[in-house]
Structure 1
Amino acid sequence: MTLASAMVLIDQTAVPLTLPAIATDIRISTQLAQWVLNGSLLPLAGVLVLGGRLGDLFGQRKMFLIGSVLFAAASAAAGLAPQFGVLLGFRVLQGIGGALMLPNTAAIVSAAYLRKDQGRALGTMGGAAAVAGAALCCCRSPLIGPLVTAAAAGVGFFVIALLGQYPNYLGATVSQAVAGMAEMGLGIIFPLVLILNLTMDPVIAGLALIPATLPMIVVARLAGRWYDSDSGRIPLVTGFGLLAASGVLLALGVLQNSYAWILPGLIVYGIGLALVLTVNDPVSLDTVPHTVHGQASGVSATAEQFGGALGIALLYLVFHTSYLNRFAYIVANGPVTGLSPSAAAALKAKLLGAESTGLHPASFGAELMPYLRLAREASNFGYMAAFLTVTALSVIALVAVARLVRQPASDAEAD
């Protein structure tokens, strides 16, 4: 189950790093390439609740195996796809396969352990999967109507059937959504900081993100034990407090244009995210009847996936808007003015190309070099805005879990 969860998360975090290369290889725009990510993420989020419910009705093992075969076959086919339409189709199937796998993993692990050991078991699974996922750090189709319907049905179940009855589950679901926003949203931002601003090679940038994942190896298991002994409220509050602090540290770090200054923020981010992701699963299931564990896991996983999709859109929008406004202001009021439309287009093209090849300042030439420095200054402003947005979201989640999550019933009371 740990390996299965890890594969789904790896798919979500590895693909953003490869989008520039995919766009180049199959000759599509970078905007259209985003649908390679969304093509899997949207059906994954839309079908998760159904996948969990099918597990409750027909057997979690059976649904998990069906999902695993579909996910593996679609992954291989997507890797061999010769053109965008074929790739997108197999990415949709990959998302559906993941939706059958993911909610049933937590339900299977929960059923395999006694109540007193469930936190540690689910924590180990969630933490190890998070380590794997974080280590790798326009379309109008009839694909859309069913997705909207599935999302609406999920929200209806989300509000009426479970969340209103179980405050712990509501708190864990809010927590899962915000954690997904931070994890996947920053998964887009981190490579831009390291490759474009710190001029790292893409491979080196991937290695530079390892300090954000190493804490998870230790913290995940400790967090599971912490939950077993003290329930989930304090670990979740602590985790979101650390995520809020990491946003501030990362915002301060980018001002220095130095990896050494960003490193503390990455480490604190990794610890906070490990706490939240590890404790969320047992908290989400500790007050929900065993007969709906698959369905409950599906709703929780849906919250994480939709949160991730929203986080990608929100954090990139905050970054990009802040960056463009700041760049326009600097050019209009700074010592270097008169950026022609042709020079602006050339600067944009070179920056987009650098996302996949690494940034080499010497290749910009004498005409664009002054504007490259201004772009770096403006992008730092955009990164700060994105990181502080994560801080604000984490504070909101901290308040929510502090109000909602309580000590679960004892084993005798649960029986």
Structure 2
Amino acid sequence: MTAPGHALRFSTGAGRGALLAATLASGMVFLDSTVVNVALPRLGAELDATVAGLQWTVNGYALVLAAFVLLGGALGDRLGRRRVFLVGAVWFGVASVACGLAQDSGTLVAARFLQGAGGALLTPGSLAVLQASFHPDDRGRAIGAWSGLSGVSAALGPFLGGWLIDTLSWRWIFFINVPIAVAVVFAGLRWVPESRDSDAPRAGGERFDVAGAVLGALALAGVAYALIEAPVRGPAATPVLVAALVGLLAAVAFGLLERRRGDAAMLPVGLLSGRLFPVLNVFTILVYAALGGFTFFLAVHLQNAVGWSALRTGLASMPVTVLLLVGSARAGALAARIGPRLPLTVGPVVAAVGLLLLRRVGAGASYQVDVLPGVLLFGAGLTLVVAPLTASVLAAVPDRFAGVASGVNNAASRVGGLLAVAALPLLVSLSGTGYAQPAELTAAYRQALAWCAGLLLAGAVLAALLVRRPSGQSQS
């Protein structure tokens, strides 16, 4: 049964309950995108992993999440957003247990693949249920709160992970997801109304685009494998060349297939007909590539080169948490008044300055002098971006595409992080066990942050030139 659309009000108990379910779910997925970075040095040592092993621990999750988040959004639109959302919560919790029980890096990577599949069902659903269920007058407020609280969960990950790693074990960064998943299922069953796209074909019909999802996954997997394995095997090695060729051919086939299927595609051509939606997703790739590369290198650098504990490393990024908590709703309201162009232009520039300041962090670094200023600037810039970007992406498409649009944008963010983690170690010549050598790691870290700052500045230029107010975003 399809619940009436736009029925929930922000001030009601049901509205707050639905927001709680969506926030906990997306927060759990985002948490596992950041918390693992703090654990990399410890699990690398315990499982005897190389740089490639660490990259796949991050990218195995990001790859499946990015490849199938579009399918997750489409499944929600067709089968029911709450139904798919709840299946994703259970799946994610079970896969998290498998991650925590892993005894070698290969098993951990395999479990991270499964965890990414659960996240692909949860991530678009968490936002789509808000977009489809809340009254139009309260939708912006609900999305702003979701953006801020979900961002806080992602930023809180390093702190929580550091405490768990130092106090118990790196395995508990995965086990902690179990009670969160239980809470998501409870809140979802109690407060989230069912909704679906009544015009969408049902799964199992000939129009359901499973082939598109598979081709998208092959494209990402081939490119990621080539980038990660090139430093180890050599760029001319047969497996690297074959993987790159498979990835490129799959990407071309994906584009051709989606164009042929039209609005029945996993990535409907109707979404790409407007100029703003594609621009916002390219912007997302650039910004989240910078974020993914930065978080990967910072956590390893602070522990293996600077000598900090996992907990202290996690605490280093706490100002980002505070800024997201305090500022996301205000940033969303500002963008609603003046349009998204200014926040999406200024935010990446401020964040880039923060990363350039953080390049000076090395052995004997002081938190107050060397780390805090850069973290504050990076957090302020990120706060200006998150809520305006999310609201603009959804306002740029018709409501019936809410699930798919959310999936596309989440896929864009995951693709950005995935490509950065895959490519940056190659670009800065970090491979093997180089992450355990302080001098080699420091040089690579400083080059990587320069690359990340460049990506942010490219995003700022794109926003300044091409972003405008979405037609579905009224001026207040």
Shorter-chain TM-score: what band? Answer: 0.7 to 0.9
**Residues 104, 396 of structure 1: alpha-carbon distance in 2 compared, 3 angstrom cutoff:** same
User: Is 1:386–2:448 an aligned residue pair?
Assistant: yes
1:209 — aligned with what?
A: 317
Question: How far does residue 67 in structure 1 lie from its aligned partner after superposition?
Answer: 0.9
How much does 1:227 deviate? 2.4
Q: Deviations over 1:126-176 (max 9, x none)?
A: 222122212223xxxxxx977216873766659871554222212221222
Q: Which residue is equivalent to 2:132?
A: 111
Identify the residue that residue 368 of structure 1 maps to in structure 2: none
**Cα shift at 1:240:** 1.3
Q: Structure 2 CA distance, aligned partners of 1:175 and 1:398?
A: 8
Distance 2:61 2:99 in 1: 11
Deviation at 1:280, TM superposition (A): 1.6
User: 2:396 & 2:131 partners in 1: Cα distance?
Assistant: 13
C-alpha change, 1:381 and 1:88, in structure 2 (3 Å) is closer
CA distance, structure 1, for counterparts of residue 410 and residue 134 of structure 2: 21
In 1, the alpha carbon distance for the partners of 2:341 and 2:135 equals: 21
Equivalent residues of 1:235, 1:279 under 8 A apart: yes
Equivalent position to 1:250, from 358, 362, 368: 358
Query: Per the alignment, do residues 276 and 78 of structure 1 end up closer, same or farther by CA in structure 2, a change over 3 Å counting?
Result: same
Match of 2:374 among 229, 245, 265: 265
Q: Secondary structure at the match of 2:359?
A: helix
**Residue 89 of structure 1 aligns with which residue?**
110
Q: Structure 1: how far apart are the matches of 2:62 and 2:43? A: 17
1:401 corresponds in structure 2 to 463
1:136 aligns with 2:157: yes
Q: Does 1:14 align with 2:76?
A: no
- For 1:309, which of 418, 421, 431 is the aligned residue? 418
Partner deviation per Cα, 1:355-381 (whole Å, 9 max, x = no partner): xxxxxxxxxxxxxxxxx7xx2xx6554
1:283 is matched with 392
Counterparts of 2:359 and 2:378, CA distance in 1: 12
Q: How far does residue 63 in structure 1 lie from its aligned partner after superposition? A: 1.0
Return the letter of the residue paired with 1:118.
Answer: R
Change (3 A) 1:282 1:97: same
Supply the AA of the counterpart residue of 1:292. Answer: F
Tell me, yes or no, if the aligned pair for 1:247 and 1:387 is still in contact at 8 Å.
Answer: yes
Structure 1 distance, partners of 2:87, 2:112, is: 16
TM-score by length of 2: 0.68
Aligned with 2:102: secondary structure? Answer: coil
Whichever of the two has the greater Rg, that structure is 1
Of 44, 48, 53 in structure 2, the residue corresponding to residue 32 of structure 1 is 53
Alignment of 1:138-217 (within 5 A): 147-148=217-218, 152=251, 157=258, 161-162=269-270, 164-217=272-325
CA positional deviation for 1:401: 1.7
3-state DSSP of counterpart to 1:392: helix
1:68 and 2:86 aligned: no
TM-score by length of 1: 0.78
More deviation in 192-201 or 165-174? Answer: 192-201
Answer yes or no: is 1:228 the counterpart of 2:336: yes
Aligned to 2:176: none
Secondary structure (helix, strand or coil) at the match of 1:7 reads helix
For 1:213, what is the secondary structure of its paired residue?
helix
Structure 2 equivalent of residue 331 of structure 1: none
Cα distance, 1:189–1:110 mapped onto 2, change above 3 Å: same
In 2, Cα distance between the equivalents of 1:184 and 1:412? Answer: 32
Contact 1:253 1:265 survives alignment (8 Å): no
1:267-289 residue CA offsets vs partner (Å, 9 max, x unmatched): 11011112212222111110201
Residues 30 and 249 (structure 1), Cα distance of their counterparts in 2 relative to 1, 3 Å cut: closer
Q: Give the drift of 1:38.
A: 2.2
1:188–1:316: 8 Å Cα contact kept in structure 2? no
Percentage of identical aligned residues = 32
**1:44 aligned residue:** 65
CA change 1:88–1:48 in 2 (3 A) is same
Mapped partners of 2:308, 2:363: distance in 1: 17
Distance 1:380 1:88 in 2: 26
- CA displacement 1:23-48 (0-9 Å, x = unmatched): 34344445324322222221111101
Instruction: Report the counterpart of residue 362 of structure 1 in structure 2.
Output: none
C-alpha deviation, 1:306, in angstroms: 0.8
Question: Partners in 2 of 1:217 and 1:209 — Cα distance?
Answer: 13
Find the aligned partners of 2:106 and 2:130 in 1 and give their Cα distance.
37
1:5 aligns with 2:67: no
Deviations 1:326-373 (A, max 9, x none): xxxxxxxxxxxxxxxxxxx9xx68x72x8xxxxxxxxxxxxxxxxx7x
**1:3 counterpart letter in structure 2:** L
Measure, in 2, the Cα distance between the counterparts of 1:289 and 1:148. Answer: 29
Q: Which amino acid aligns with 2:75?
A: L
1:101-134 Cα distance to aligned partner (Å, 9 max, x none) = 1012111111233444433322221222122212
Note closer, same or farther for the CA distance 1:34–1:288 as it changes in structure 2 (3 Å cut): same
Query: What is the RMSD of the two structures over their aligned residues, measured on CA atoms?
Result: 3.1
Aligned length: 361
CA distance in 2, matches of 1:396, 1:318: 18
Structure 2: segments with no counterpart, 5+ residues: 1-21, 159-213, 221-249, 259-265
Give the distance between the partners of 1:155 and 1:127, measured in 2 at CA: 34
Q: Residues 410, 290 of structure 1: CA spacing in aligned structure 2 closer, same or farther, 3 A cutoff?
A: closer
Distance 2:444 2:102 in 1: 35
Question: When you count helix as a share of all residues, which structure comes out higher?
Answer: 1
The code of the aligned residue for 2:389 comes to N
| 1:189–1:316 Cα contact (<8 Å) kept | no
Could you give the per-residue CA deviations for residues 187-209 of structure 1, whole angstroms, max 9, x where no partner exists?
Answer: 11112332234322222111122
- 1:39 touches 1:88 (CA, 8 Å); kept in 2? yes
Return the offset for 1:85. 4.5
The structural deviation recorded for 1:410 is: 5.7
Structure 1 residues 412 and 129: alpha-carbon distance in aligned structure 2, compared to 1, 3 A threshold: closer
Offset from partner CA, 1:49-86 (integer Å, 9 cap, x none): 11111111111111111111111111122212344444
